[in-house]
A and B are shown apart, each in its own frame.
Chain A
Amino acid sequence: MEIFQYEFMHRAFLAGIIIGLICPVVGLFVALRRMSMISDALSHVCLAGVAAGLFSGSNPIITASAFAIAGALTIEKLREKFKTYSEISIAITLSTGVALGAILLDLGKGYNANFMSYLFGSIVAINTTDVIIIAISGLLILGLIFLLKKELFFISFDEEGASLAGLPVKAITIAFTVLTALTIAVAIRVVGILLVSSLIVLPVAASMRIAKSFRGALLISVIMAEVAVIIGLFASFYINLAPGGAIVMTSVILLLGTLALCQRQYNPVKVTEKIAQREDSSI
Chain B
Amino acid sequence: MRKQVLIELTNLYFTYGCHPVLDNVNLEIKTGESVGLLGPNGSGKTTLLKLILGQLRPHSGAVKVFGVEAHRLRERYRIGYVAQRATHFNTEFPATVKEVVASGRVPRRGLFRLLTSQDYQRVDQVLDMVGLSSMCNQPVGTLSGGQQQRVFIARAIVSEPEILIMDEPTVGIDSAAQSSFYELLKKLNSKENITLLIVSHEMEGLSSVISRQVCLDKNLCSCNCHSYPAKKMQVSCSKRLAFQYAK
**Residues of A bordering B, CB below 8 Å:** 32, 147-148, 150-151, 153-154, 156-158, 160-162, 164-168, 207-208, 211-217, 266, 268-269, 271-272, 275-276, 279-280, 283
Main SS at interface, chain A = helix
Closest 9 CB pairs of A and B: A166-B76, A276-B144, A217-B94, A268-B91, A271-B142, A154-B103, A165-B107, A268-B141, A211-B94
* Chain B residues whose C-beta falls within 8 Å of the C-beta of A166 in the assembled complex: 74-77, 107
Give CA–CA (A275, B155) in the complex, Å. 21
Q: Contact between B143 and A148 (Cβ–Cβ < 8 Å)?
A: no
B225 at the interface (CB under 8 A from A): no
* Chain B residues whose C-beta falls within 8 Å of the C-beta of A162 in the assembled complex: 106
Q: Contact between A165 and B91 (Cβ–Cβ < 8 Å)?
A: no
Give CA–CA (A166, B111) in the complex, Å. 11
* Chain A residues whose C-beta falls within 8 Å of the C-beta of B104 in the assembled complex: 165
Q: Smallest Cβ distance from A275 to chain B, in angstroms? A: 6
Q: Contact between A164 and B81 (Cβ–Cβ < 8 Å)?
A: yes
Contacts A151-B111, A161-B86, A266-B92 given; does A214 touch B142 at CB 8 Å: no
B125 at the interface (CB under 8 A from A): no
Q: Contact between B94 and A214 (Cβ–Cβ < 8 Å)?
A: yes
**Closest B residue by C-beta to A146:** B114
Q: Contact between B94 and A157 (Cβ–Cβ < 8 Å)?
A: no
Contacts A166-B107, A268-B91 given; does A214 touch B55 at CB 8 Å: no
Contacts A161-B83, A280-B144 given; does A147 touch B107 at CB 8 Å: no
B170 at the interface (CB under 8 A from A): no
Q: Contact between B142 and A272 (Cβ–Cβ < 8 Å)?
A: yes
* Chain A residues whose C-beta falls within 8 Å of the C-beta of B159 in the assembled complex: 165
Q: Contact between A165 and B176 (Cβ–Cβ < 8 Å)?
A: no
Pick from B93, B94, B143: contact of A272, CB below 8 A: B143
Pick from A150, A160, A213: contact of B95, CB below 8 A: A213
B11 at the interface (CB under 8 A from A): no
B209 at the interface (CB under 8 A from A): no
* Chain A residues whose C-beta falls within 8 Å of the C-beta of B115 in the assembled complex: 150
Most buried by A among B93, B131, B143: B93
**Closest A residue by C-beta to B76:** A166
* Chain B residues whose C-beta falls within 8 Å of the C-beta of A279 in the assembled complex: 135, 143-144, 147
* Chain A residues whose C-beta falls within 8 Å of the C-beta of B141 in the assembled complex: 268, 272
Q: Smallest Cβ distance from A216 to chain B, in angstroms? A: 7
Q: Contact between B99 and A213 (Cβ–Cβ < 8 Å)?
A: yes
Q: Contact between A208 and B94 (Cβ–Cβ < 8 Å)?
A: yes
B190 at the interface (CB under 8 A from A): no
Give CA–CA (A208, B90) in the complex, Å. 13
* Chain A residues whose C-beta falls within 8 Å of the C-beta of B16 in the assembled complex: none
* Chain B residues whose C-beta falls within 8 Å of the C-beta of A208 in the assembled complex: 92, 94
**Closest B residue by C-beta to A275:** B142
* Chain A residues whose C-beta falls within 8 Å of the C-beta of B76 in the assembled complex: 164-166
What would be 18 A-B contacts, judged by CB atoms less than 8 Å apart?
A: A32-B93, A148-B111, A148-B112, A153-B103, A165-B104, A165-B106, A165-B107, A165-B159, A212-B139, A213-B94, A214-B96, A216-B94, A268-B91, A275-B142, A275-B144, A276-B147, A279-B147, A283-B177
Q: Smallest Cβ distance from B152 to chain A, in angstroms? A: 8
Q: Contact between B143 and A213 (Cβ–Cβ < 8 Å)?
A: no
* Chain B residues whose C-beta falls within 8 Å of the C-beta of A211 in the assembled complex: 94
B38 at the interface (CB under 8 A from A): no
* Chain B residues whose C-beta falls within 8 Å of the C-beta of A269 in the assembled complex: 91
B138 at the interface (CB under 8 A from A): yes
* Chain A residues whose C-beta falls within 8 Å of the C-beta of B111 in the assembled complex: 148, 151, 168
Give CA–CA (A276, B173) in the complex, Å. 12
B137 at the interface (CB under 8 A from A): yes
Q: Smallest Cβ distance from A51 to chain B, in angstroms? A: 36
Q: Contact between A151 and B96 (Cβ–Cβ < 8 Å)?
A: no
Known: A157-B93, A161-B86, A165-B159. 17 other contacts (CB 8 A): A148-B111, A150-B103, A151-B106, A158-B89, A165-B77, A165-B106, A166-B107, A212-B96, A212-B138, A213-B99, A266-B92, A272-B141, A272-B144, A276-B146, A276-B147, A279-B135, A279-B144
Most buried by B among A153, A157, A161, A165: A165
